[in-house]
Amino acid sequence: MNVMVDTNVVLDDILNRAPNADIARRISRLVTDGIVNGHITANCLTDIFYIVSKYRNDGTARKVIRNLLLAFSVVGVDDGDCRAAIDLPVRGFEDALVVIRAEKADLSYIVTNDKGFQGIADSSVSVISPSDFLLKFVCENC
């Protein structure tokens, strides 16, 4: 299964943010163990580096990014993606970029804790919460 993991889910795991840390950690484990093919956008990495270095330190941020690069496939964002995203009927520009890249990569889901994240109605990619994803994943693989 191929999924885009939104920045907030990755940060919940890395920063041990309650109440979502345990579920985020389970999703990260599925990716790390190669059970799920996890994808993140390149701008997700820059955001994570900035936030981790701010709340921890530069060395920790570099270690986190190295580990993410080992576990996740990084999906680039280019000029065409930005131009397409700005015109999508999606609340936030970053969310629109995630939708565009998930569609281009032919992914099944966008896993996010952002309750305001909305996909687009005719998209081939479904938006799903981490807890719903885990339930669906377990049910499909029983």
Asked if 83 and 20 count as a contact pair (C-beta separation under 8 A), the reply is: no
Token match 């309750």: residue? 115
Its sign, for the CA torsion 16, 4, 45, 120, is: negative
How does pLDDT run across 25-69, given as a tens digit for each residue? 999 999 999 999 999 999 999 999 999 999 999 999 999 999 999
* pTM exceeding 0.85: yes
Say which CATH number the domain at 36 has: 3.40.50.1010
Asked if 38 and 3 count as a contact pair (C-beta separation under 8 A), the reply is: yes
Identify any residues that bridge with 71 across adjacent strands, giving them in sequence order.
Answer: none
Percent above pLDDT 70 for the chain: 99
Q: Using CA atoms, how far apart are residues 13 and 52, in angstroms rounded to an integer?
A: 12
Task: Read off the pLDDT of each residue in 79-107 and give the average, rounded to a whole number.
Answer: 93
- Number of domains, the chain: 1
pLDDT at 107 over 80: yes
Domain hosting 7: range is 2-140
